[in-house]
Structure 1
Amino acid sequence: MEAGKRSVREIFNRGRNLEIPFFQRSYVWQEQQWKRFLEDMVMVSETKKIYFLGSVILKQQETTSDRDSRLTVIDGQQRLTTLNIFMKVLCLLTDSDSDFTETFKKQRDKQIILLHNHNDVSSFNSVVDLKELKEFTGVSDNDQILKAYKYFVENIQTDNVLEKLNFFDIIDNILFVGIDLNLGEDEQQIFDTINSLGVKLTTAELLKNYFFDRTEIDKYNLFWRDVFEQDDDTYTYWDREITAGRIRRTVIDLFFYSFLQIKIQEKKYKVNTHDKIEFSKVENLFESYKRFIKEYHLNKDEVVKEIKEYALIFKDNFEPEIINSELSDTYGIERINAIIFGLEQSTLIPYVLYVLKNVDNEIQKNELFQFLESYIMRRMIVKATTKNYNQLFTDRLINNEILSKDNLKSILSENDNKINYIPSDEDLSKGFNESILINYQAAGIIYMIESKIRNKSKHSTKLLGMNKYSLEHLMPKKWDNKWDKLKNKDDRDFRNFKLKTIGNLAIITQSLNASIREAQWSVKRKGNSKNKGLLHYSGGIETLAPYLEYDVWNEERIQERCDDLFEHGKKIWFLQ
């Protein structure tokens, strides 16, 4: 890798092409950026001072000859595109189009140096190949290339701006921070660095340009565009970010991670243990795809066909928005979605996708999902470790082709399975009594119980989505301000412990006002003249409403509710 200052002429070396990945997203700059760009170009022309336009990261492509040298634009698409459009307009307005040609077109054949992506290539070429100014009609709302052209044509000719601009002063004083990558260097590391600076670039963008080239439009349309980029709703689905572990990841990257984890478990490839570990690292996902396909001799065309099959299943079944909608009381993929996206259990996705692809019988599938729900929820309640889940749900379950409830129960019940054990009813009872859970976990557990026991015919309002409820401590953490005093230290310590357990936690439709939240029980229940209390915000919640009839709330009541929640949990998350 080489890094340093680069002039415009160094970037636009006339003996090579700069190629924006053909299937990269469109040019997106808008009037705010064009206005700033124009102002900066006026400033450069007037002051003749060095101006850094930003970073450009280029990677050498593999080519058959030096005459066909190409570099991929890893970063800098927006700036380089804007510079071309702006300079073209300036040269046409000053009758000096030859200056544009001598800078931005190749020396040998006078073809444009910057090769654009499939969305913008037609509009971009139509601008940079103009011989005179032209008004484009019928411009699409999404065509930012032609909009940029129109903006510069109109605004360079106003307020004497044209008189202030000088082509060569701009060319001679603009500098880029240039990073050049050799053929074998890892662009994903560069992408990750760019991501850390706030630029949204995904593994999927890299894979798209790895699987398809400029000659494969039909294949791209069939196996990628129609699956991942068909319309705005499709874009929105795949681009949604969710919390996965400690980081935020897009749904499309979660899909590609899951697909790879399924593929490397296929016995015919005989992927060794070391490679499986390497291929399971999220941060190296793009390199893992390339190495897996190359070293294990997969056919890229077959891979993209299978990606489409899995992606369609994924989109039909995985729904992050489930946390904003009423949850079904029927065991199945909807409740598994709530666990994955509401309780941040994304490590389940590869195995669940594998089941969805390979089990057609709905009864068999839902029985398996019922047991999977029971297993995950029981372990969450007892605070069992999740550190081994990646290995469990891929190496053990996918690799062993576990596709039924009985097989799942059997493999999890093995005597040597101490890490991945199934919590017993006794363990579950202890968990309800003693576990101090993260707020979103406690709220999710109560919500999952509520969704199963709620008598829908009894309530005029439907259950809201998991994400729509707030978690409330019935006895507040600062109870000693307005609740009964306890003189004995052991009693105080016991109360401070019990109020953090699930028996004292409830979901309500809206957070209480701070003055009500820490008020004595009678006020907290009913509210006061200014603010409403638990009775108003309980919304017929059956895991809470019966306990609001009590005039006193103390450790005994917490234990009573804890026991009731345990009995519900034991029945809901049964193990037979």
Structure 2
Amino acid sequence: MAELLYSLQKVFTTYPNGKTYNIPEYQRGYKWSEQQVRQLLDDVYIFSLNRDEDHFYCLQNITLFQNLDKENYLNVVDGQQRLTTVTLLLSYLESNELVKDKIYYAVREPSNNFIQKIIYNQSDVINTILKADSFESFITSQDEDLDYQDIHHMFMALKTIDSWVKSKTDFDKGSFTNIILNHVKLIVNKVENVLEQELFMNLNAGKVHLDGSDLIRAILITRVAKQELVDYDPLNVEDILKLNQRRTRIGWELDEMNSWWNNDDVKLYFQSFTSIQTGKKETIKFSQEIHPINLLYKIWAEIKGENEITLYCFEKEEALLTYQSIVKLHRVLKDWYEDRKIYHYLGFLFAHTKMKVKTIYSKWNSINITRDQFTNEWCVKQLKEAVFGKENKDTDDVGYNFWMSKIKDYSQEDPTNWYDTTIIQKILIFLDIIEHSKTKEKGIPLPFLKPRYFKNYQEDKEHIFSGTPRELNEIKDLPNPIEKLNEYINSLNIEYESSQHIPTFKYDQNQWDSLVEEEKNNALTEFKLIIHKRRPVNSLGNLVLLHLTINRGFGNDQYALKRTNVIENTINGLYVRHHTVNIFVKSTSSKDLNNWTLKDVERNADNTHSTIEEFFKSILDE
């Protein structure tokens, strides 16, 4: 395997093998700003404070193309800005001999003449530039026309370098030059079998982009293999073969990981595990959309305590340790993803809490916890708090005990209006988690829940037995509202003793027609309150999440229609929550499959209570 990264020493000596880096005519001129030059110097300086002999700072890449007309020219298709900057820097550091005859500016003759004067320091031009009060005064003092934008930027780059050096009281030119030459590296891409102009257009249109994952790959492949071969001898053929074999294997391992992270469901599942982004000052981007393995690197960075991801994150420890920890993390995350319980428990936690992956990973790696304890105790405790809130001794309106007592209060004088509670959607989704996380000794278990369904996905919370204000208000627009309203009241009385019946509506049709709009609204609001107090229409047992495409309607006769739509959507591959499906196939003890009565609501609430209680039983018995 050819070397992937080259120190600046090699970039200007052995790599070109006597050839010159040519900045072709189609390139724009040099235009790095003072901020960009200073940022480069700051990054290298910070790196130098924490490095060891095996560490290096990666200055991204340059892309080269063999000049077809001149054999001794390598056209710089991409990266000329950084190549020019380091040329100016090395000239300032008096390493002129290294860069002589190594760069040629075909883009503009005056620009080439100027940079050559700097490289050769003709007429002590560097010192003249540093002493100049301004660019205008400098070009006025020269015998040639230098009033070009790229020459101005070269002038300012040298001034910035000098200003930066003088700001460092501990600056050691020899030590810093050594770091620049031997510990700052470039990835050199020499491209063949493609049209040069097409390559340039693609690079500048953003179609070809060197990403952070490319650089991490290069760093790991080149450094880890050497660190594993403790007694590596570069002159020993057998050692060279071992090194290349190991580099090939590391590359294969990284490709295998990248392939796994490229799965759409994997990406969607883990994207909620971290919110870490590329550092604001980082010029190298870590795009997980283009390179999915960057999601693994972002999770790794967060676990390491980083607030943002930068290439420097991967330079803080020995490459072998970094690689080993990345591989370990990948295997753990893959294990979680493939474990039915862990997959669903963590998916719900990250969707509904501010849980940090660092906390979970630390708990997983604790020597004081087994896999079973992590899954069935620790995760279950987190779920209990995520669904119901943390128990608070100072208030009794939060926590598991409070909400569980509300599930079966449908027969009380003032039952809970679950429709308007803050946790209704969360608890309905959680019922799905319970069912999908179950394993079966016989038969086929439910499929793993798709990542998007850990949250509400194009769904409405919906009454099964109608009773929402929206539905009641729609009565006013019907041609025979009182008749429909009394039909609804009759449906409310099914399976109830006559002594518990709700009487017919207090207005007949003529009386209703004589009311003004405000009086009608007040009458319906009053009626709604009566229903809520005397029937469990807003009970948890009467609520489901329904896909937006499923018809909503008023009255008990709509249950059969909704049931048909639910079944059709399920058959057609549209996801319907398991809890919702069970409602519409009447998995209660009721034998009436075509109607949903208020007694069904009570039975469903009781079943829901039992399901949740059974799930948390193991930690409640402690």
Q: TM class by shorter-chain length?
A: 0.3 to 0.5
Larger Rg computed on CA atoms: 2
Length-normalised TM-score, structure 1: 0.47
